[in-house]
Structure 1
Amino acid sequence: MAGVVRKIIQTSNAPAAIGSYSQAVRVDHTLYISGQIGLKPTTGVMVEGGVIPETQQVMKNMGAILEAAGASFDNVVKATVMLEDINDFTAVNTEYAKNFTKNFPARALVQVAALPRGAKVEIEAVAVVGPITDES
C-alpha cells in the first residue's frame, strides 16, 4: 500500500514562520498555505501604510510560496481572508482580485478580533499542484 507523500515548502522569498508552523505543506497534489500577513520577507517587519500595502505584500508572499511549490495563483482552489475591520472589504478585494483573473477560488472572508503583529489582513489558501483541466 502506497503511503501519502508530505513535503514542507519553504522559501526565503516569503517571511519565515513566526511560530511552530511551516509556510506551506504539500500532501500529494494538495498544497496548504499558512496564513500570510504583510511582513517583508527580508526584514520580517510589517509593511507600512495600512490595509492596501499589507494586502499587496500578503499576495506577494503567497505568490512566492506558490512558486516554490511549483504552482501559481491559478492553482488556488480555496482561500480564507481574515480582516481586522470588515469595512476594508472593498480595498482588500480589489488587491486580491489582481491575482485571480479566471476560475476564481472558493473563498471565505471574515472579520476577526485581532491578527498577529497587528496586521489588518491575513490570507490562507489551499491549492492543487500539477496540471489542471477546467471543465465548463
Structure 2
Amino acid sequence: MADTHAVETDDAPSNDNPYSQGVRAGDTLYVSGYGPVDPDTGEPVDGDVEAQTDQVLDNIAAVVADAGGDGLADVVKITVYLTDLEDYERVNEAYGARFGAEPPARVCVEVSRLPDDVRVELDATAYLG
C-alpha cells in the first residue's frame, strides 16, 4: 500500500491481536475500534457508560495525536457500538461534551456483545491535512 503506515502509541491500549491502533493513509487516519480500556492497566475502566465513553474518546484522541493530529478536533466520523440502546442518551451526553458546535458525522448501532463485556466501543476516521 502506497503512502500508508501503522500508528502505535503507548497512550492508547494495545494488545496481541493482529490489527493496528490506527492506519494513516495520506491525510486520512483510520482508528481501530476501542472499548473503555485504560492504557496503563490494560483493563476496562470502572464506572457508568459515561465514564466508559470518556475513556474510549481519550484512547481515540491519543491515537490521533500520535499520528500528528490535534486529538478529537481532527475526527470527521465515528461509529458507536452499544450493547444496549437504552444507553444512547447517556452516551450522547458524554460524547457531546467532548465535541464542539460541529461534531463529526456518526453512526450508532446496537450489538449483541463487545470484548470484555464493555457497554460501548467506538472507531473513528480523522482528517490530518
User: TM-score surpassing 0.5?
Assistant: yes
Match of 1:52 among 50, 67, 72: 50
Distance (whole Å) between structure 2 residues aligned to residue 115 and residue 18 of structure 1: 17
Structure 1: tracts of 5 or more residues without a match:
131-136
1: distance between equivalents of 2:79 and 2:19? 17
| Counterpart code for 1:99 | R
Give the CA deviation at 1:35. 0.5
Over the matched positions of the two proteins, sequence identity in percent amounts to: 39
- Measured in 1, the distance between the counterparts of 2:15 and 2:101 equals 30
| 1:133 alignment partner in structure 2 | none
1:73 corresponding residue in structure 2:
72
Q: Is the 1:7–1:27 contact (alpha carbons within 8 Å) kept by the matching residues of 2? A: yes
TM-score normalized by the length of structure 2: 0.93
Alignment partners' CA distance in 2, 1:122 and 1:17: 16
Distance 2:89 2:39 in 1: 26
What is the rounded CA distance, in whole Å, between the counterparts of 1:120 and 1:32 in structure 2? 22
1:29 to 2:31 alignment: no
Q: Which has the larger radius of gyration?
A: 1
Q: TM-score, normalised by structure 1?
A: 0.89
Partner of 2:121: 122
Residue 4 of structure 2 corresponds to which residue in structure 1? 6
Partner in structure 1 of residue 106 of structure 2: 107
Distance 1:102 1:70, change over 3 A: farther
Between the aligned partners of 1:17 and 1:80, the Cα distance in structure 2 is: 21
Consecutive unaligned residues in structure 2, runs of 5 or more:
none
Amino acid at match of 2:57: M
The amino acid that maps onto 1:100 is: F
Cα 1:95–1:114 change in 2 (3 A) is same
